[in-house]
């Protein structure tokens, strides 16, 4: 049996090849795309191995799992990204370890994050999660604000103490006009990102693409891909 370190190194090398190939195909520099490894459901020991293998960005989607894991790995040179649906009663914990939250999707969350960031004396980078399948003015089933709510939310983040709007995040929708069309979905996200930069020029991060569709995201122009199972293996339970 191959040991875990070798397994992770092999998987990372394959993902790295995929990102490099996608960048080359799109005429982009490899440096334009940052790999975030989504470590949800996997133990702190894997995070430690990934750090030794050169990973610098990791992501989690549940505070209950992420908080102890981040504490166990606090000696490592890692940036933690929070990518899951976030309840306001969890934000105090999340701001203690996360440098970026990718799932900001409502005013109440902006208010809570701002208060927690101020209290912790930290600056928090916020990405607005866009639900490309949500109706106007609504939120998506898996979180995210409808495209027409993005600019207002960005203004709220920019005005909130302790928070900075840094870009957009999406998950390719399973329903609606973009179902099974990740390339088109990510293209639409890029249009929204262009609109956003007109009023918030520093909000230039585009977080899109996972194990199954990272090539589509890189082709569209994503700056950050969030890859879980292709690096760590198929998750043992829903996460």
**Interface with ligand PLP by CB under 6 A: which residues?**
38, 40, 61, 83-84, 171, 210-212, 226-230
Nearer to ligand PLP, 83 or 128 (CB): 83
* Distance from C-alpha of 118 to C-alpha of 95, rounded to nearest angstrom: 10
Q: Which residues pair with 124 in a beta bridge?
A: 163
CB of 231 to ligand PLP, least distance (A): 8
Beta carbon of residue 102, minimum distance to ligand PLP (angstroms, whole number): 7
CB of 59 to ligand PLP, least distance (A): 7
Residue closer to ligand PLP, measured from CB, 173 or 228 = 228
Least Å distance, CB 71 to ligand PLP, is 21
């Amino acid at each position: 049996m191959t040991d875990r370190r070798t397994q992770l190194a092999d998987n990372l090398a394959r993902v790295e090849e995929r990102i490099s190939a996608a960048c080359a195909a799109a005429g982009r520099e490899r440096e334009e795309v940052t790999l975030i490894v989504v470590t949800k459901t996997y133990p702190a020991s894997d995070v430690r191995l990934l750090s030794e293998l050169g990973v610098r960005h990791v992501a989690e989607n549940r505070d209950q799992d992420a908080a102890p894991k981040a504490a166990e790995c606090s000696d490592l040179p890692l940036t933690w990204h929070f990518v899951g649906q976030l309840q306001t009663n969890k934000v105090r914990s999340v701001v203690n370890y996360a440098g970026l939250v990718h799932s900001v999707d409502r005013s109440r969350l902006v208010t809570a994050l701002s208060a927690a960031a101020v209290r912790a004396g930290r600056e928090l980078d916020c990405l607005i999660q866009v639900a490309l399948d949500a109706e106007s003015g609504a939120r998506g089933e898996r979180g995210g604000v409808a495209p027409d709510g993005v600019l207002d939310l960005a203004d709220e983040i920019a005005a909130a103490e302790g928070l900075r709007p840094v870009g957009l995040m999406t998950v390719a929708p399973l329903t609606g006009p973009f179902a099974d069309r990740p390339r088109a979905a990510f293209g639409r996200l890029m249009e929204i990102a262009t609109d956003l930069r007109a009023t918030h020029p520093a909000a230039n991060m585009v977080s899109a693409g996972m194990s199954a569709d990272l090539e589509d995201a890189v082709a569209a122009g994503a700056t950050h891909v969030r890859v879980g199972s292709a690096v760590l293996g198929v998750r043992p339970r829903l996460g």
